[in-house]
């Protein structure tokens, strides 16, 4: 069935949302709490998350706002298993952020999500990847624009259509085979998406090109690597990779080959 075309038009809610986000950002400040410092150390040293204080604050705010919807957005029930989830829960609790979120923010995203879910705007029309691709791409595109217009313009937050994703993936696979006599599906070939977003490149490539055994091997040896400067996008990518592994093995194994950094130095 073809994807239905609907647009969300909630100008009044949008005005309240932007006011609420500005109010929220003004109400949260980091202190020198030992708890915060400990979490920051774990994120940096264990989970390859290297954020400035301002980016960390933004990441925690976005996480707190979206957490009630994340399981449904990603189609995953594994979110609570992630140690990154538990660390961010500590930060949200430490700053009492959920209590500070204006009602306008929650109302907007619940209405927005319900609208898009009702009209099935996330489902592909080619029958492939429906269950594995992140269903939050369009949602996240709007979320980032509303959260910070300046940030979108400065950092170039763009979500690639699946047709372009398939073309790029197939072109890279062809070049590797022609120039290096290797197949991208081979165990020794490492993929790195430096701007991984919510995971559409890795997830769609794995869904359409890797067998169950090939994916499990690449997951276990960390050869499906990805990075993103935006925490929420990186976090969703992580969740979706873990979900795919769980669907194949019926076991949870934390994804350890992603990173959230604004430099390629240690990737």
Would the pLDDT of 10 be above 60?
Answer: no
Neighbours of 125 (CB within 10 A): 11
Q: Which of 237, 221, 239 is nearest to 229 (CA)?
A: 237
Question: Is 91 among the domain residues?
Answer: yes
pLDDT at 3: 44
Q: How confident is the model at residue 122 (pLDDT cuts 50, 70, 90)?
A: very low
Neighbours of 43 (CB within 10 A): 22
Question: Is 2 among the domain residues?
Answer: no
Q: Of 21-25, 44-48, 177-181, 186-190, give the lowest mean pLDDT range.
A: 21-25
Query: Model-level pTM?
Result: 0.78
Would the pLDDT of 17 be above 90?
Answer: no
Q: Which of 228, 217, 219 is nearest to 264 (CA)?
A: 228
pLDDT tens-place string over residues 62-104: 888 888 777 766 666 777 788 888 888 888 888 788 887 777 6
pLDDT at 27: 75
200, 241 contact by CB (below 8 A): no
Rounded Cα gap, residues 63 and 232, in angstroms: 7
pLDDT tens-place string over residues 160-182: 777 888 898 889 888 888 888 77
Q: How confident is the model at residue 195 (pLDDT cuts 50, 70, 90)?
A: confident
Q: How confident is the model at residue 147 (pLDDT cuts 50, 70, 90)?
A: low
Question: Is 1 among the domain residues?
Answer: no
Question: Is 266 among the domain residues?
Answer: no
Question: Is 81 among the domain residues?
Answer: yes
Rounded Cα gap, residues 186 and 215, in angstroms: 10
For residue 180, what are the contacts with CB-CB under 8 A and spacing of at least 6? none
Question: Is 68 among the domain residues?
Answer: yes
pLDDT at 220: 94
Question: Is 6 among the domain residues?
Answer: no
Mean pLDDT of the residues in the chain:
75
Question: Is 267 among the domain residues?
Answer: no
What's CA 127's distance to the chain center, in Å? Answer: 22
106 burial type by CB count under 10 A (0-12 exposed, 13-18 middle, 19+ buried)? middle
Domain of residue 159, residue span: 11-259
Three-state secondary structure call for residue 229: coil
Q: Of 14-28, 105-119, 125-139, 252-266, give the lowest mean pLDDT range.
A: 125-139
137 vs 96, residue with greater confidence: 96
Q: Tell me the average pLDDT across 121-128.
A: 40
User: How many domains does the chain fold into?
Assistant: 1
Highest averaged pLDDT of the listed ranges 53-62, 161-170, 222-231, 255-264: 222-231
Q: How confident is the model at residue 266 (pLDDT cuts 50, 70, 90)?
A: low
> How large is the angle between the packed helices 212-221 and 231-249, nearest 10 degrees?
130
The token duo for 233 is 């996008």
Would the pLDDT of 253 be above 70?
Answer: yes
For residue 69, what are the contacts with CB-CB under 8 A and spacing of at least 6? 109, 110, 113
């Amino acid at each position: 069935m073809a994807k239905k075309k609907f647009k969300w038009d909630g100008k009044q809610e949008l005005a309240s949302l932007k006011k609420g986000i500005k109010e929220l950002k003004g109400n949260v400040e980091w202190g020198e709490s030992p708890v915060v410092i400990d979490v920051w150390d774990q994120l940096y040293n264990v989970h390859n998350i290297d954020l400035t204080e301002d980016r960390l604050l933004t990441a925690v705010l976005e996480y707190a706002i979206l957490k009630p919807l994340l399981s449904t957005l990603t189609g995953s029930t594994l979110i609570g298993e992630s140690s990154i989830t538990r660390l961010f829960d500590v930060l949200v609790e430490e700053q009492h952020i959920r209590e500070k979120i204006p009602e306008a923010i929650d109302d907007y995203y619940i209405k927005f999500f319900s609208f898009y879910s009702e009209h099935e705007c996330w489902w592909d029309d080619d029958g492939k990847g429906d269950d594995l691709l992140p269903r939050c791409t369009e949602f996240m595109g709007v979320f980032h624009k509303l959260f910070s217009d300046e940030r979108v313009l400065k950092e170039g937050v763009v979500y690639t259509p699946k047709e372009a994703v398939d073309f790029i993936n197939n072109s890279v696979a062809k070049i590797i085979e022609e120039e290096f006599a290797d197949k991208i599906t081979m165990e020794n070939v490492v993929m790195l998406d430096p701007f991984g977003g919510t995971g559409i490149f890795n997830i769609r490539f794995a869904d359409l090109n890797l067998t169950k055994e090939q994916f499990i091997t690449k997951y276990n040896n960390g050869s499906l690597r990805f990075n993103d400067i935006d925490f929420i996008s990186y976090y969703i990518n992580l969740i979706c990779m873990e979900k795919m592994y769980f669907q194949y093995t019926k076991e949870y194994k934390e994804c350890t080959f992603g990173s959230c950094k604004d430099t390629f130095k240690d990737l």
